[in-house]
Structure 1
Amino acid sequence: MPSLNQAALALAFLLTSTSGTASDAISQEWARLIKADFPPGCVIRLDPYLSSTGVNGVRGGAWLVQTCEGSFEYGASYFAPGVYPEKKRIGVSRTQKLRPLTPAQLKKMYSLDG
């Protein structure tokens, strides 16, 4: 029988491995909602740079969005069914427009790959 520490470690690994992927359905919906905030073809690059998951299924994230209109930060949220039923289940919001930065500056500030 696994110890409590082993079970906690396995749970932590499971949560971080599933929440950090941009290919899951929630992240895909966040990306779709962000793209819908701009004219078609305007989004050049979407980069999630922060993600958190609660034990109750609540998720949050932060995205850097590079577009034809400049660079923006977005916040994203997801609430599992039954958790905070008064809140919108999934959503994104523009938090700020960034001053013009070079790709190298963005990469350094947001720890982006490639």
Structure 2
Amino acid sequence: MPSLSRVALALTFLLASTAGAADEEISKEWARLIKADFQDGCVSRLDEYLSTFGSNGVRLGAWLVQTCEGNFEYGASYYPLNVRTENKRIEVRRTQKLHPLTPEQLKKMYSLKG
């Protein structure tokens, strides 16, 4: 029979992996919503450069979006069903269009990899 501490550890890993899968689905939906803001094939790169998590399940993100129309910053939010808000449950919004920058400048400013 497994000890109580092993059961607790197993449950912790299970919850963490479930939360990770849910976070990935939220990021995928944010990316889909951002891409829908542009014509097909216009988005060349999406990078989520900031993500914050609340203990109540709220998640906020910031994205750098490189497109055929220029570079943009987007904000994103997710509110679980148990959180009362007047906002949509999941949404993205364009916060600003960036001045023309080289790929090297973007990598440095947003700490992008590869």
Answer yes or no: same fold by TM over 0.5: yes
Residue 85 of structure 1, CA deviation: 4.0
Is 2:61 the partner of 1:61?
Answer: yes
Q: Report the aligned-residue RMSD.
A: 2.2
- How far 1:18 moved relative to its partner? 3.1
Give % identity: 68
Whether 2:99 is the aligned partner of 1:99: answer yes
Deviations 1:27-50 (A, max 9, x none): 000000000000000000000000
5+ residue gaps in structure 1?
3-9
Q: Which runs of 5+ in 2 are unaligned?
A: 6-11
For residues 40-84 of structure 1, give each alpha carbon's deviation from its aligned partner in whole angstroms, at most 9, with x where no partner exists.
000000000000000100000000000000000000000011202
The letter for the 1-side match of 2:61 is G
84-93 or 28-37, which deviates more: 84-93
Q: Which AA in structure 1 matches 2:91?
A: G
Larger Rg, first or second structure (1 or 2):
2
CA–CA distance in structure 2, aligned partners of residues 77 and 106 of structure 1? 23
Q: Quick one: which amino acid aligns to residue 92 of structure 1?
A: V
CA distance in 1, matches of 2:65, 2:42: 10
TM-score normalised to structure 1 length: 0.81
More helix by share: 2
Map of 1:78 onto structure 2 = 78
TM-score by length of 2: 0.81
Which residues in structure 2 correspond to 1:25-64 (within 5 Å)?
25-64=25-64
**3-state SS of the aligned residue for 1:113?**
coil
The aligned amino acid for 1:18 is G
User: Which moves more between the two structures, 83-92 or 28-37?
Assistant: 83-92
What residue identity is the alignment partner of 2:20? T
